[in-house]
Chains A and B, each alone.
Chain A
Amino acid sequence: MYDILIIGAGICGTFIARDLSRYELKVALLDREDDIACGATMANSAIVHSGHDPEPGTLKARFNLEGSRMYEEICRQLGTVFRRCGAFVASASDEEDAVLDQLFARAQKRAIPSRILSRSEALQDEPHLADGVRRVLDLPTTAIITPWEIAIALAEEAVLNQTELLLSHTVTAIQKEQNGFLVTAQTGDGRQRMLRSRFVVDAAGVYADRIYAMAASDVPFAITPKRGEYYVIDREEHPLVSRVIYPVPSAKGKGVLAVPTIHGNLLIGPSSDPIEDKEDVGTTPWGLDYVQQQISKTVRDIPFHKVIRSFAGLRPSGSTHDFIVEEARDVPGLFLAAAIESPGLTAAPAISHYITEELIGSRIDLRPKKEYTKRQPPTPFHQLSPAQKNEWIRKNPVYGHMVCRCEHITEGEILEAIHRPVGARTIKGVKKRCRPGMGRCQGGFCEPLVAEILCRETDVTMEELFYMQDNVQKDIPGERRDNR
């Protein structure tokens, strides 16, 4: 019997797990995927928004503002990267100028550092603003992060503090019982598991409505996946923009942004298409065309010939047009972190704090653990001086073996990613944790090397590594293969 079972190991679920792991509670974090952060957390704009945008009086406004003030300290504690690069909201017409003034007033009212800059002032900092840009709203507190790095770090810390991590667990039924819930989950190898928990947290992203429906006869909201498509542009010594460039928001949302990433790439997107299929993370020609066409309004000279990847993410958009963060009205003990679309990443620490301290805290006695283990960040090998690097390599030659030649990732860093708490078990898992395959060759060169290391270190075969998950025919009759 758990005290709390969290469904969904995205940014919300992992924040909640980590926050609950401070207390004397038996907590499980469950996800249908085989790793942390496989949904919207993996595919978003990676921005800590300052909080200037959401409508007054919404949960989005509240949690965005609170979250944006929490992140820097959280990242410092977790040892994850946080960079306050700032942002411009760029207006390009009379109507947009009017909206820009409203946003400025809103930012001022919320005590968000901000100012209006003329075109010529803005160009001094961002020379690649499009010709049509007339004025900008400068938001210097806007920051960039790597969302999945934070989610993984949170999961690590939760696991270090006795949270049970149940990956490859798909919830198939939730039954209300006298003292809580009976949750049925199907595991990756086809077994059924029955899990009992006093409370359940629904942080299931685009599936939050389906999870709710398992526990209640009537679901008062629906989650529509809103597909956002992005381009990733190759790392350059001098990125085209040094801060986030937003267009003036419209009814459709924040619009298409240009975002410098922590690792020197440029992210262009997202499109915004409500779709039916909660699984369809496919990119489309029209979605990407829209991104190209929209970004030209705010930024010029984008080197689209240097695109190394495009991807799509599904943001869980709620029918109530606001976050749903509450104890379910007709299912006591079920806590919702639902419809966490933009600015959900920014809001997540504040949502978690609210759910943990106020909602769960009002129902259960939160006794802090006497001993709390802090996460040790991975070796920052990139940041060492040449002499320090050589010292490391002398002790451990695997740090001299460069596996990923695009991003300069060593075998030592890959071994760490595999052997840490919540270690990588898949090619994607390694890529998420230390980036081999994120560069311009997209893994063409390093993927076989990473696969070999994974097979060796986790004692699986190549067949298991690549065919584990879908219904692919595993054996060829009459053929004997020996790859280890």
Chain B
Amino acid sequence: MDAKITDQINTDNAAKTRELICIVCPMGCHLSAQTENTADGTCRVLSVSGNTCPRGERYAREELTAPTRMVTGTVTIDGGIYPRLPVITSAPIPRERIFDVMEEIHQAHVCAPVQIHDIIIQNVCGLDADIVASRTMPLKEPAQ
């Protein structure tokens, strides 16, 4: 899988204007951020404009420097009332690691019963987040 989930990488260090739409609330403010690339290759936000509240600025800074996402998926489960158990990360993980986390989720295999919040994968990909069950999965009653 070679899907790209990082934004286009800036190769020079010059200041750049980045446009994004705020997703914190339905207002959908059009944000404009002045950024520059630091020596270690990360992005630094110099200023944010277009936001109508402080949450917009915080969002822009996070999204441009270290975007994170919650990841949800399913793992194979034996003996449950469904063949798949829905799972979720216990905390947001870096956006560029989504597919690595999915890979781990695809490898997991558990047996029913499972309680909601049970840890399915500890410290997934070393990202300080666990993969936990997002529902209780009871045992399937044997057919009569």
Q: Which residues of A contact B (CB under 8 A)?
A: 478-480, 482-484
Q: Which residues of B contact A (CB under 8 A)?
A: 1, 76, 83, 106-107, 109
Closest to A480 in B: B106
Kindly provide the distance from the CB of A237 to the nearest chain B CB, expressed in whole angstroms: 37
| Between-chain CB contacts (< 8 Å), 9 pairs | A478-B1, A479-B106, A480-B106, A480-B107, A482-B76, A482-B83, A482-B109, A483-B83, A484-B83
Complex CA gap A479/B76 in Å reads 13
Complex CA gap A364/B55 in Å reads 89
Q: Which residues of A contact B1 (CB under 8 A)?
A: 478
Complex CA gap A482/B107 in Å reads 11
Q: Which residues of A contact B109 (CB under 8 A)?
A: 482
Closest to A476 in B: B1
Q: Which residues of B contact A478 (CB under 8 A)?
A: 1
Closest to B83 in A: A483
Q: Is the interface of A mostly helix, strand, loop or mixed?
A: loop
Closest to B109 in A: A482
Complex CA gap A484/B83 in Å reads 7
Closest to B76 in A: A482
Kindly provide the distance from the CB of A396 to the nearest chain B CB, expressed in whole angstroms: 12
Complex CA gap A478/B83 in Å reads 20
Closest to B107 in A: A480
Q: Which residues of B contact A480 (CB under 8 A)?
A: 106-107
Kindly provide the distance from the CB of B105 to the nearest chain A CB, expressed in whole angstroms: 11
Closest to B84 in A: A483
Kindly provide the distance from the CB of B103 to the nearest chain A CB, expressed in whole angstroms: 8
Closest to A483 in B: B83
Kindly provide the distance from the CB of B143 to the nearest chain A CB, expressed in whole angstroms: 11
Complex CA gap A480/B76 in Å reads 10
Q: Which residues of B contact A483 (CB under 8 A)?
A: 83
Closest to B77 in A: A482
Kindly provide the distance from the CB of B76 to the nearest chain A CB, expressed in whole angstroms: 5
Apart from A478-B1, A482-B83, A482-B109, list 6 A-B contacts with CB within 8 A. A479-B106, A480-B106, A480-B107, A482-B76, A483-B83, A484-B83
Complex CA gap A480/B107 in Å reads 8
Closest to A479 in B: B106
Complex CA gap A2/B134 in Å reads 61
Q: Which residues of B contact A484 (CB under 8 A)?
A: 83
Complex CA gap A20/B1 in Å reads 57
Kindly provide the distance from the CB of A478 to the nearest chain B CB, expressed in whole angstroms: 8
Kindly provide the distance from the CB of A223 to the nearest chain B CB, expressed in whole angstroms: 47
Complex CA gap A480/B83 in Å reads 14
Kindly provide the distance from the CB of A476 to the nearest chain B CB, expressed in whole angstroms: 9
Kindly provide the distance from the CB of A373 to the nearest chain B CB, expressed in whole angstroms: 33
Complex CA gap A170/B30 in Å reads 59
Q: Which of A478, A479, A482, A484 is packed against the most chain B CB atoms within 10 Å?
A: A482
Q: Which residues of B contact A482 (CB under 8 A)?
A: 76, 83, 109
Closest to B144 in A: A397
Kindly provide the distance from the CB of A475 to the nearest chain B CB, expressed in whole angstroms: 14
Complex CA gap A484/B76 in Å reads 10
Closest to A482 in B: B76
Kindly provide the distance from the CB of A245 to the nearest chain B CB, expressed in whole angstroms: 49
Complex CA gap A478/B106 in Å reads 10
Kindly provide the distance from the CB of A86 to the nearest chain B CB, expressed in whole angstroms: 50
Complex CA gap A478/B109 in Å reads 16
Complex CA gap A46/B83 in Å reads 42
Kindly provide the distance from the CB of B40 to the nearest chain A CB, expressed in whole angstroms: 32
Kindly provide the distance from the CB of B79 to the nearest chain A CB, expressed in whole angstroms: 13
Complex CA gap A484/B109 in Å reads 14
Complex CA gap A92/B106 in Å reads 66
Complex CA gap A480/B1 in Å reads 14
Complex CA gap A484/B84 in Å reads 10
Kindly provide the distance from the CB of A462 to the nearest chain B CB, expressed in whole angstroms: 10
Kindly provide the distance from the CB of B32 to the nearest chain A CB, expressed in whole angstroms: 40
Q: Which residues of A contact B83 (CB under 8 A)?
A: 482-484
Closest to A477 in B: B1
Q: Which 5 A-B pairs have the closest CB atoms?
A: A482-B76, A483-B83, A479-B106, A480-B106, A482-B83
